[in-house]
Amino acid sequence: MTRVVRLHEAGGPEVLRVDEIDVRDPAPGEVRVRVEAIGVNRSDSTFRSGHHPVKPVFPSMLGSEAAGRVERLGEGVTEFAIGDAVSVVPRMAPAYGTYGELIIAPAEFLVRHPENFSMIQAAALWAPFLTAHGGLFDKGDMKEGDVVILTAASSSVGLAAIQLVNMAGGVPIATTRSRDKAQALLDAGAAHVIVTDEEDVAARVAEITAGKGARLVFDAVAGPGAAALAQSLAMGGRYIIYGMLSSEPTPFPVGLSFARGLTMETYIVASKRPLLDRAIGIITDGVARGLLSPIVARTFPLEESVAAHRYMESNAQFGKIIITVD
């Protein structure tokens, strides 16, 4: 028997339940992993509450990211060995949930994480950096010298994006609702910070860019604030939405789109291996060069998964939340 966190109904954090279950042997192409650390993501919250496009079938596992060691190999798996330190790269597949002491994962969604990383760092790496890399470069076509506006910049994805923009020679402008996190964002590498509850976003971006505007918006919030962000874009600018923290409608800037040739698109993490492998290689290289490293806000033990989700939904964190498994 092993401990896992499951849902027996949709709802708030309180519906998370620690169950003891038998974990099956891995089927062909699968690996059984003894987990040491689990990455907590916003998608876990939306899935738990029943608002994710993928719906739970109760009782349902949850989670898409973890780090641990290979315990058993399914038939045909030759790229890993028992005892290897591995990470699960994120994908929404409740049948392969990661909130547990022992989990089953498809070998194709496992990677060896950087050797100098702890399990906690490894569990904090892939979802933020793969999301940020894909949105900025695959979808946003970011280039050296580009000015990039990053919303929800104190989130794990926002902080990863700051590092990736800097690594690529861009100029990251971080936005945050209150001044409490402004200095921490500057310390994390933001070239500029805009406090949206106090400052006019479009005016500040115009000031920072000498009236030229930003090349790219990478937005986790959406909602009515999109109007000011779109106003901040330069000719031919791109607006990439990768989250919906706002529950309000998001206006499409029709007039600006015609006048400036703007594009607005949504983004989810790619699951196609060529794109995924390319991003994994770039991120691993950035880690090895000391240019990329996840920032961990706080850790919780597995039995406190409810508290971990409540902390995430408080928006008090600066960086990634991790659940640890003893």
What digits encode the pLDDT tens for the residues 183-242? 999 999 999 999 999 999 999 999 999 999 999 999 999 999 999 999 999 999 999 999
Q: For residue 240, what pLDDT is reported?
A: 97
Residue 106 neighbours by CB under 8 Å, 6+ apart = 29, 30, 31, 96
How confident is the prediction for the chain on average, in pLDDT?
94
Q: Which of 70-84, 238-252, 259-273, 290-304 has the lowest mean pLDDT?
A: 259-273
Asked if 233 and 201 touch (Cβ cutoff 8 Å), the reply is no
- At residue 271 the predicted structure's pLDDT band, cuts being 50, 70 and 90, is low
Nearest to 231 by CA among 267, 266, 255: 255
Query: Residue 256's pLDDT is what?
Result: 87
Q: How far is CA 39 from CA 69, 100, 253, in A?
A: 15, 12, 35
Cα separation, 21 vs 278, in Å, equals: 37
Largest CA distance in the chain: 62
> Which pLDDT value is given to residue 95?
87
Q: Which of 88-97, 186-195, 312-321 shows the lowest per-residue confidence on average (mean pLDDT)?
A: 88-97
What is the tens place of the pLDDT at every residue in 16-47? 999 999 999 999 999 999 999 999 999 999 99
pLDDT at residue 272 is higher than 70 = no
Other beta carbons within 10 angstroms of residue 94's beta carbon come to: 18
Share of the chain above pLDDT 90, in %: 84
User: Quick check: 253 pLDDT over 90?
Assistant: no
Q: What is the set of domains in the chain, with CATH numbers?
A: 2-125+295-324 (3.90.180.10), 127-266 (3.40.50.720)
What pLDDT, on a 0 to 100 scale, did the predictor assign at position 94? 83
* High-pLDDT (> 70) share of the chain, %: 99
Instruction: Give the pLDDT band of residue 276 (cuts 50, 70, 90).
Output: confident
pLDDT of residue 178: 85
Which residues are CB-neighbours of 166 under 8 A, at least 6 positions away?
Answer: 172, 189, 291
pLDDT of residue 208: 97
pLDDT of 270 strictly over 70: no
Do residues 126 and 43 touch, judged by C-beta distance below 8 A?
A: no
**Cα torsion at 47, 152, 200, 258 (round to 10°)?**
-60
pLDDT at 288 over 80: yes
